[in-house]
């Protein structure tokens, strides 16, 4: 009987500790959504449907600016994805290297 009581107390304390650690984790769903959206934007393809009815050189001249714009958009999206990944990582682990630097004020130079 004493053993059963000790096992029940141990099991209850472990489940309470597990619930407390789950409650301590921050909600990073908004950062996760922002990161997922940024990753999708990096994989976006240019819309070349407006050039479909053209042929040959005319078609390639029509597609060229669209492809270049898509390339610059993808480059910008990669930067946003990197920032979103860092925000997500910092949300999950605020003590990670590089996370506290943005929030901490820069030290001011002492007057002479």
Q: Report the domain count for the chain.
A: 1
Write out pLDDT tens, residues 42-78: 888 888 888 888 899 998 999 999 999 999 998 999 9
Whether 35 is in a domain gets the answer: no
* 39 close to 78: Cβ distance less than 8 angstroms: no
Whether 65 is in a domain gets the answer: yes
Determine the pLDDT at residue 91. 87
pTM of the model: 0.54
Query: 58: domain range?
Result: 51-93
Average pLDDT over all residues of the chain:
77
Whether 67 is in a domain gets the answer: yes
Identify the burial level of 90 via C-beta atoms within 10 angstroms of its C-beta, where 0-12 means exposed, 13-18 middle and 19 or more buried: buried
Residue with tokens 């922002």: 34
Whether 40 is in a domain gets the answer: no
Whether 2 is in a domain gets the answer: no
Whether 61 is in a domain gets the answer: yes
Write out pLDDT tens, residues 92-108: 888 888 887 544 444 44
* 50 close to 62: Cβ distance less than 8 angstroms: yes
* 35 close to 84: Cβ distance less than 8 angstroms: yes
């Amino acid at each position: 009987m004493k053993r059963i009581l000790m096992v029940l107390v141990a099991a209850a304390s472990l489940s309470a500790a597990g619930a407390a650690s789950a409650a301590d984790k921050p909600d990073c769903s908004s950062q996760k959504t922002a990161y997922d959206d940024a990753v999708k934007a990096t994989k976006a393809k240019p819309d070349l449907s407006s050039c479909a009815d053209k042929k040959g050189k005319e078609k390639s001249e029509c597609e060229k600016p669209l492809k270049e714009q898509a390339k610059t958009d993808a480059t910008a999206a990669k930067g946003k994805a990197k920032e979103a990944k860092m925000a997500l990582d910092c949300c999950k682990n605020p003590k990670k290297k590089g996370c506290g630097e943005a929030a901490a004020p820069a030290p001011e130079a002492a007057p002479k």
